[in-house]
Amino acid sequence: MHLGLLVLFLSLAKSCWCAPQQTCHPGDEFLGRCSNSVVEEKPACTEMNLGYCNDMEYSRTIFPNILGHRTRMEAESGAEYLLLSVIHGLLNGECSPEIRLVGCSVLASPCQDDKMIRPCRTTCEALRRDCVHAFEAIEMAWPYFLDCDRFFASDQEGCFDPLAGMKARQELALSSLSPEEPSTIIQFTYTSNAQMYSLLKRTAAKCSHISHVYSIGRSTEGRDLLVIEFSNNPGQHELLEPEIKLVGNMHGNEVLGRQLLIYLSQYLCSEYNLGNQRIQTIINNTRIHILASMNPDGYELAASEVEDSNDPELNNQEGHLLNGWTNGRTNAQNLDLNRNFPDLTSVFYRNRRSRHYRIDHIPIPDAYWFGKVAPETYAVMKWIRSLPFVQSASLHGGELVVSYPFDFSRHPHEERMFSPTPDEQVLKQLARTYADAHVTMSNNDTDRCGASFYRTRGIINGALWYSFAGGMSDFNYLHTNCLEITVELGCDKFPPESELYPEWKNNKEALLTFLESVHRGIKGVVKDVDGNAIKDATISVRGIRKDVTTAEDGDYWRLLNPGTHILTATAKGYSRVSKRVHLPHHMTKAGRVDFVLERVPVEPDYDDHLFPTIDTWDRFDPYNQFERYGEPVITEGGIEREEKPWWWNYFSQSGISPPNWLLRTV
């Protein structure tokens, strides 16, 4: 629809409507019936009568206007006026009504004492800074009639601010709110991929002191997998500060999660700046990573299907609704990303009875790399391994429930079998945290989408619901420290735009509560007797056969429910230290438990394989299928992206210098 309007506008902009020129026959001119001479009329103020500009703060204008239109009819027939009439639809409501009001101030400037008052250049420049990205998102140049230097005046020349009235009304509305209830304004509309990138970059720029954006890779069709981060020290891991991630749009046609994460990003930025103490506490004590769209290629296809459904010439509406459950689900390679991760759950089931086999940080089998690995999957796996994530949520659609690992049944022939992890109680509590904070998810009387989850109050073990291998949540649990839940947000995978605001209200508290819930259990630092941090030390909890490892600075986090726990810290070449810890109910933050380990002689032991080695867990992509990504570089848009050519590792590992002609291609 927007493309059609844009083509219409451009075609009209290239043409010009002109009234037929009036000529007078010489004989009629001699008799005084008419005249070919032009009588210059002095410009005078006249009543404003332009439909799209009648809500301006003034009622009188003057012609000719700044653009040279001599009459109201000439102004109304111009391409500039046409653009103002469709600008809201073209920009998806962004920068509206500011663009229209400033445009009207050029087409119909205020008039006083038969003199024109031009709009202020400072207003135009501020508008361009804030809104040029919206035009770039639809690949359209900034409108020529909003040229700040050409058509606007300085304060010294005497000008007026066309947005002054709107700003005054907004300030009045904000002043009427109590200080305890700061307000954030969000446009609840769908965003294209280009608009999403622009909006996230704009949000990060607005809150550069607590946020920045970075790319973890690219999709099959070359679109950025863009992450926005929130922290009081963005770009840096801080000692003992937990890291949490939220992932949306893994299936391209499940779009509500994508939009909620975009809104959450705007909300966190705005509320932090407004002084919301709850939001400031979350961001000052947590490092939050938000990947709004893991599958932008699939979204592109799903969005085009929905746009086609609005075409009145298409009569197969039922077919479209049916396709909405499948079209765009997969990536551009037709791979379901939530079936594309390494199947570590089968490895876990095969070895779980052996007390000598480590069942956490399971390495990726070499055989996995001989299959078809999506670039989106690869990018997310590398991201998951690169940061010490503690907990995570993946947002989906099609049901109203929170599921938790394992997603793959412990019996290969049982489609629905309860298949708990060693952290069953912790993961169940994590799922309960989101479901209970959601407005309707845990209610017994909530309408469901076919499945019956009211008996479990909106949560379920994934394999008990339905079993599948290669899921992202199982991979997080078995390959890293991170515990991930899957949040199904509702029956409609691509709800109408009118449902976006109600769904934000349904999920806002749940999202914030989930972010806060990472501060439960215990955290601490593992050091040697000299005070040096020990990386990759293991922290085990008696009765839970799942260890976590320490990060680069020796810090760790272990999500645990209230109760008494016996913790043990150890590392290869160091002593083993155990501590008994009691976690009371209603703790508002994680308890701190530090360990100091002494060096001991290293002797060969049957249990050596309990620790990750360079030949197992640390080895990633051993066949260099994807290693075109290496050191981060900064692109023109200011986004960090890892970008190394495919041959880089070959020369790096062989010690041979690449030829100059090859270096010039980088």
**Residues recognised as catalytic:** 488
Question: For residue 267, which phi and psi values (nearest 5 degrees)?
Answer: -65, -45
CB 229 within 8 A of CB 200: no
Q: Token digits for 515?
A: 């972010």
Residue with tokens 């003992």: 240
- The rounded radius of gyration (Å) of the Cα atoms in the chain is 31
Residue with tokens 């280009």: 194
CB 248 within 8 A of CB 393: no
Q: Where are the beta strands (DSSP E) in 382-463?
A: 389-396, 399-404, 459-461
* Angle, vertex CA 596, rays to CA 592 and CA 601, nearest 5: 150
CB 106 within 8 A of CB 138: no
* Alpha carbon distances (Å) from 318 to 135, 307, 309, 363: 34, 15, 10, 46
Q: Is 467 exposed, middle or buried (0-12, 13-18, 19+ CB in 10 A)?
A: buried
Nearest Cα to Cα of residue 518 among 488, 482, 564, 468: 482
**Would you tell me how many other CB atoms lie within 10 Å of the CB of residue 257?**
29
Q: How many residues does the chain have?
A: 666
Q: H/E element holding 545?
A: strand 544-549
CB 268 within 8 A of CB 288: yes
CB 328 within 8 A of CB 336: no
Residue with tokens 């000052």: 284
Nearest Cα to Cα of residue 158 among 109, 210, 191: 109
Task: Please give the Cα distance from 528 to 554 (Å, whole number).
Answer: 10
DSSP assignment of 164-217: HHHHHHHHHHHHTS-TTS-------S---HHHHHHHHHHHHHHTTTTEEEEEEE
Task: Please give the Cα distance from 460 to 448 (Å, whole number).
Answer: 14
* Alpha carbon distances (Å) from 532 to 108, 326, 373, 640: 71, 53, 39, 31
